[in-house]
């Protein structure tokens, strides 16, 4: 069979055209898909951002209510339902700070407190900055308060330090000695005593701050810090004191008439102290307490006061370093105790100084100490002494005159370079004495060399492994100088004494002595963790090698006082609860930290979903409660439906007084956006429109104003120059995250 094949050119052309058309369509579709995928991903990212933003905003609202009005043990439950992203904790990129000044026409700025290194920048141009003192706030449930007990302590008596809202249940305390750990639980309003005779050094780790008193021999005298100590002058209106069995004496000193209330497991008493009518005499009252067993005694006053405790009333033993009226240990004016005893007045300068009081006075040569029988016979009350230059004052209990350090006691030797309880330079004077004197030196940092210019020079290297040394004293005037980190020096006289203890991260003071219009860089007496991993950082917070949030007091010249607390700053390392997701690019997030809900979507543009809550106005008032969320040890992270159980652990007051400038800063990358977002309503100000950036000319607006500096993350609470009724609180919340099955 024969077939004739015929080529149909038109059919071939049509087939080829069809194939090419189909390929072209596929190419177009592919190109369209490639160009549309980012759009689709961006739309999905937008959905994820808005969905999680609404959930985080609900979290912020419930957390703010719990932080401001809740009590310890109160909790709330929040459910987070992510789409495709993960919920994780970020402990290294969250944080914020507040600062406040306590005198008119003063400013205080801070920079670099949240950088994890060992330096900090401060800016105060109005006067010379003498020193700064830093307290580790031990923020977070995994960061216990650490108390090192030296070998010279015979008894440690302690109770839970009260606050605005403290835990309802018992406080967990761990006792470490020679590698052996013991545990105990301490109920609220319960005191506990440790007999440490011949026990050596010991360490306490407590889940809550303690009121801790060291006793040696038969006790003595010490000034006791208030529960609500003012950041301005360290006075207060309430004290909770663990007292031993037997007779104790409480001496309360104030500027004006005072009501003193004493309560506990004893009969509550209320008494009144009235001015004597004499000039230059403060108001003092003395109260004797007899206890059959150790108890916690609560003292409250109607006005800001100082309190002196004596546990051996008739023995003529005990002494204490006495703070000046501006709160520092170095000052010009002192409301001295009205109890029978002796004052030791030390002049750290090279020039002589004149000291006066009502009806009398004396002079003290340069770098020497004078002793005065106290109080003068003609004065009834608490004599006020004035000095022509900065001096230190110590009060010695005595039943006879002219004891000149023949009093068995424990005192804290003040540092003359910082005017505080720790520093690098000390002046020590020892008169002729019939009892033994020694100095116990403890490291307040990571490492330092010190040299003591006694009859035979004594020096040593203090490290974290060997932080304590003893100096054998000699008669005369000597200096103790540390070359790197600060030290703290206790003067041990005889076999008896009493002193209130501090935790290991408290009152670490560094000398500055600089006046500058720009930034002043100073060192932090802690280890640098810059560039370290999160695991290392968390471990450093826990063992105290790096501060887990800080309170920074700046001491400077104000009027006649060289060591006034000009201002205080609080820096908080806050854990960020972060929802991480991807859109057209990776690295997108919605996060909650410190009360603010923030996001960097789209394209890493910082956006504030919900501003941090505060309570400003009406009038020149500002109040804020900082919600500090911390993950529990068993919290999880990842995707899936997550349930957050948030429980309030405690709430503490950081300040409640009159301030003249309040600032707030936020860590990057959201600090600048929060500063701008907080200034809600500023755009309606005519003054700001006419004079942008001129805060001094802004008279028609009260509220947050971004600092005029370029790219700043700071805001200033503006009140047209009026004094601010300033209240700052911190709430610690524990968050347990579990995944629903």
Query: Would you state the pLDDT for residue 421?
Result: 95
User: What's the pLDDT tens digit per position in 542-587?
Assistant: 999 999 999 999 999 998 889 999 999 999 999 899 999 888 788 8
Claim to verify: residue 519 and residue 647 sit in the same structural domain? yes
Domain boundary among 467, 488, 504: 504
> Band of the pLDDT at 619, cuts 50, 70, 90?
confident
The answer to whether position 21 is within a domain reads no
The answer to whether position 121 is within a domain reads yes
For residue 82, pLDDT over 80 is answered with: yes
The answer to whether position 43 is within a domain reads no
Distance CA(675)–CA(241), nearest Å, equals: 42
Claim to verify: residue 682 and residue 593 sit in the same structural domain? yes
Query: Would you state the pLDDT for residue 6?
Result: 62
Across 205-219, 278-292, 397-411, 495-509, least confident range: 397-411
Distance CA(117)–CA(113), nearest Å, equals: 8
For residue 401, pLDDT over 60 is answered with: no
Mean pLDDT along residues 230-246: 94
Query: Would you state the pLDDT for residue 527?
Result: 93
The answer to whether position 12 is within a domain reads no
Tokens of 187: 């109920």
The answer to whether position 39 is within a domain reads no
For residue 231, pLDDT over 80 is answered with: yes
Domain boundary among 463, 481, 504: 504
Claim to verify: residue 480 and residue 524 sit in the same structural domain? no
* Contact call for residues 209 and 161 (beta carbons, < 8 A): yes
CA atoms in the 13 A half-sphere facing the CB of 703: 16
Mean pLDDT along residues 201-228: 94
Query: Would you state the pLDDT for residue 326?
Result: 93
Q: Give the other-Cβ count within 10 Å of 186's Cβ.
A: 19
> Band of the pLDDT at 60, cuts 50, 70, 90?
very high
Mean pLDDT along residues 522-543: 92
Kindly report the average pLDDT of the chain as a whole number.
89
198 phi and psi angles, rounded to 5 deg: 60, 25
- Say how many residues make up the chain: 741
Distances (CA, A) of 450 to 145, 418, 471, 550: 27, 16, 11, 26
Q: What percentage of residues in the chain have a pLDDT greater than 70?
A: 95
For residue 235, pLDDT over 90 is answered with: yes
More reliable by pLDDT, 101 or 47: 101
> Sign (positive/negative) of CA torsion 135, 209, 545, 636?
negative
> Band of the pLDDT at 406, cuts 50, 70, 90?
confident
CA torsion, points 260, 265, 267, 269, in degrees to nearest 10? 0
Query: Would you state the pLDDT for residue 42?
Result: 64
More reliable by pLDDT, 312 or 274: 274
More reliable by pLDDT, 531 or 234: 234
User: What's the pLDDT tens digit per position in 102-148?
Assistant: 999 999 999 989 999 999 999 999 999 999 999 999 998 889 999 99
Strand-pairing partners, residue 427, are: 479
More reliable by pLDDT, 671 or 223: 223
Distance CA(337)–CA(546), nearest Å, equals: 38
Claim to verify: residue 480 and residue 561 sit in the same structural domain? no
Number of domains forming the structure of the chain? 2
Q: Give the other-Cβ count within 10 Å of 528's Cβ.
A: 17
Distance CA(35)–CA(186), nearest Å, equals: 66
> Band of the pLDDT at 35, cuts 50, 70, 90?
low
Domain boundary among 459, 475, 504: 504
**E strands present in 453-585:** 458-463, 468-472, 476-482, 487-493, 497-500, 508-514, 520-523, 550-558, 561-572, 576-581
Expressed as residue numbers, the domain containing 233 is 145-504
Across 25-34, 302-311, 409-418, 505-514, least confident range: 25-34
Claim to verify: residue 280 and residue 327 sit in the same structural domain? yes
> Band of the pLDDT at 403, cuts 50, 70, 90?
low
The answer to whether position 11 is within a domain reads no
Claim to verify: residue 489 and residue 527 sit in the same structural domain? no
Query: Would you state the pLDDT for residue 140?
Result: 86
Mean pLDDT along residues 243-248: 93
The answer to whether position 97 is within a domain reads yes
Query: Would you state the pLDDT for residue 4?
Result: 60
Q: Which of 327, 325, 364 is nearest to 345 (CA)?
A: 364
Claim to verify: residue 491 and residue 529 sit in the same structural domain? no
Q: What is the DSSP letter of 638?
A: B
Mean pLDDT along residues 427-442: 89
For residue 218, pLDDT over 70 is answered with: yes
> Band of the pLDDT at 355, cuts 50, 70, 90?
very high
Helix (H), strand (E) counts: the chain: 4, 51
Query: Would you state the pLDDT for residue 404?
Result: 64
Claim to verify: residue 279 and residue 396 sit in the same structural domain? yes
Claim to verify: residue 581 and residue 724 sit in the same structural domain? yes
User: What's the pLDDT tens digit per position in 365-390?
Assistant: 999 899 898 888 878 888 999 999 99
Claim to verify: residue 559 and residue 471 sit in the same structural domain? no
Query: Would you state the pLDDT for residue 21?
Result: 77
Q: How would you label 696-725 residue by residue, b for 16+ Cβ within 10 Å and e otherwise?
A: eebeebbbbbbbeeeebbbbbbbbeeeebe
Claim to verify: residue 441 and residue 525 sit in the same structural domain? no
Q: What percentage of residues in the chain have a pLDDT greater than 90?
A: 60
Tokens of 465: 């492994």
> Band of the pLDDT at 509, cuts 50, 70, 90?
very high
Claim to verify: residue 431 and residue 547 sit in the same structural domain? no
Q: Which residue has the tokens 């020039």?
A: 351
Distance CA(138)–CA(646), nearest Å, equals: 20
**E strands present in 534-686:** 550-558, 561-572, 576-581, 588-593, 596-599, 607-610, 615-616, 621-631, 642-659, 661-666
> Band of the pLDDT at 5, cuts 50, 70, 90?
low
The answer to whether position 561 is within a domain reads yes
* Contact call for residues 273 and 252 (beta carbons, < 8 A): yes
């Amino acid at each position: 069979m024969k077939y004739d094949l015929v080529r149909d050119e038109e059919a071939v052309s049509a087939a080829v055209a069809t194939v090419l058309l189909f390929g072209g369509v596929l190419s177009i579709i592919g190109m369209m898909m490639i160009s549309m995928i980012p759009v689709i991903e961006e739309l999905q990212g937008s959905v994820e951002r808005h969905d999680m933003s609404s959930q985080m905003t609900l979290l912020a609202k419930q957390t703010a209510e719990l932080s401001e009005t809740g009590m310890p043990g109160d909790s709330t439950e929040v459910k987070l339902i992510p789409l495709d992203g993960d919920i994780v904790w970020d402990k290294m990129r969250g944080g914020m700070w507040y600062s406040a000044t306590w005198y008119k026409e003063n400013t205080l700025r801070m920079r670099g407190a949240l950088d994890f290194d060992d330096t900090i920048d401060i800016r105060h141009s109005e006067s010379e900055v003498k020193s700064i003192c830093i307290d580790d706030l031990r923020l977070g449930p995994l960061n216990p308060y650490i108390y090192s007990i030296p070998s010279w302590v015979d008894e440690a008596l302690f109770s839970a330090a009260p606050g605005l809202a403290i835990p309802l249940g018992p406080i967990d305390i761990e006792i470490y000695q020679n590698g052996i750990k013991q545990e105990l639980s301490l109920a609220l309003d319960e005191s506990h005593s440790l007999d440490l005779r011949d026990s050596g050094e010991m360490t306490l780790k407590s889940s809550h701050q303690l009121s801790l008193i060291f006793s040696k021999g038969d006790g003595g005298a010490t000034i006791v810090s208030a529960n609500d100590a003012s950041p301005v002058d360290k006075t207060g209106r309430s004290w909770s004191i663990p007292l031993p069995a037997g007779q104790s004496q409480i001496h309360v000193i104030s500027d004006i008439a005072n009501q003193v209330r004493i309560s506990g497991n004893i009969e509550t008493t209320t008494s009144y102290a009235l001015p004597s009518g004499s000039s230059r005499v403060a108001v003092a009252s003395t109260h004797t307490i007899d206890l059959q067993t150790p108890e916690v005694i609560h003292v409250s006053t109607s006005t800001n006061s100082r309190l002196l405790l004596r546990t051996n009333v008739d023995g003529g033993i005990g002494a204490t370093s006495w703070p000046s009226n501006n709160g520092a240990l170095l000052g010009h004016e002192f409301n001295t105790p009205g109890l029978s005893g002796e004052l030791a007045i030390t002049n750290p300068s090279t020039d002589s100084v004149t000291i006066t009081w009502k009806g009398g006075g004396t002079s003290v040569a340069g770098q020497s100490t004078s002793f005065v029988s106290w109080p003068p016979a003609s004065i009834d009350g608490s004599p006020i002494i004035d000095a022509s230059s900065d001096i230190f004052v110590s009060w010695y209990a005595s039943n006879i005159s002219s004891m000149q350090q023949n009093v068995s006691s424990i005192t804290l030797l003040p540092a003359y370079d910082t005017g505080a309880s720790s520093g690098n330079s000390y002046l020590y004077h020892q008169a002729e004495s019939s009892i033994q004197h020694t100095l116990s030196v403890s490291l307040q940092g990571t490492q330092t060399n010190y040299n003591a210019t006694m009859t035979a020079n004594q020096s040593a290297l203090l490290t974290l492994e060997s932080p304590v040394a003893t100096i054998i004293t000699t008669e005369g005037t000597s200096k103790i100088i540390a070359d790197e980190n600060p030290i703290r020096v206790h003067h041990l006289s005889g076999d008896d004494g009493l002193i209130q203890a501090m935790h290991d991260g408290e009152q670490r003071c560094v000398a500055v002595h600089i006046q500058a219009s720009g930034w002043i860089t100073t060192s932090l007496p802690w280890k640098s963790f810059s560039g370290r991993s999160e695991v290392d950082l968390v471990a450093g917070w826990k063992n105290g090698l790096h501060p887990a949030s800080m309170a920074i007091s700046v001491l400077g010249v104000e009027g006649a006082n060289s060591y006034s607390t000009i201002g205080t700053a609080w820096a908080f390392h806050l854990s960020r609860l972060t929802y991480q997701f991807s859109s057209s690019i990776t690295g997108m997030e919605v996060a909650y930290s410190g009360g603010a809900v923030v996001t960097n979507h789209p394209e890493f543009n910082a956006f504030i979903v919900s501003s941090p809550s505060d309570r400003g106005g009406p009038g020149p008032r500002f109040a804020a409660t900082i919600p500090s969320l911390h993950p529990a040890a068993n919290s999880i992270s990842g995707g899936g439906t997550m349930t957050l159980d948030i429980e309030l652990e405690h709430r503490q007051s950081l300040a409640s007084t009159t301030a003249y400038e309040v600032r707030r800063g936020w860590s990057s990358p959201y600090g600048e956006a929060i500063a701008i977002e907080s200034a809600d309503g500023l755009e309606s100000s005519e003054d700001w429109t006419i004079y942008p950036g001129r805060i001094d000319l802004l008279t028609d607006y009260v509220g947050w104003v971004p600092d005029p500096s370029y790219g700043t993350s700071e805001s200033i609470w503006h009140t047209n120059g009026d004094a601010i009724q300033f209240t700052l609180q911190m709430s610690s919340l524990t968050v347990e995250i579990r995944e629903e099955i």
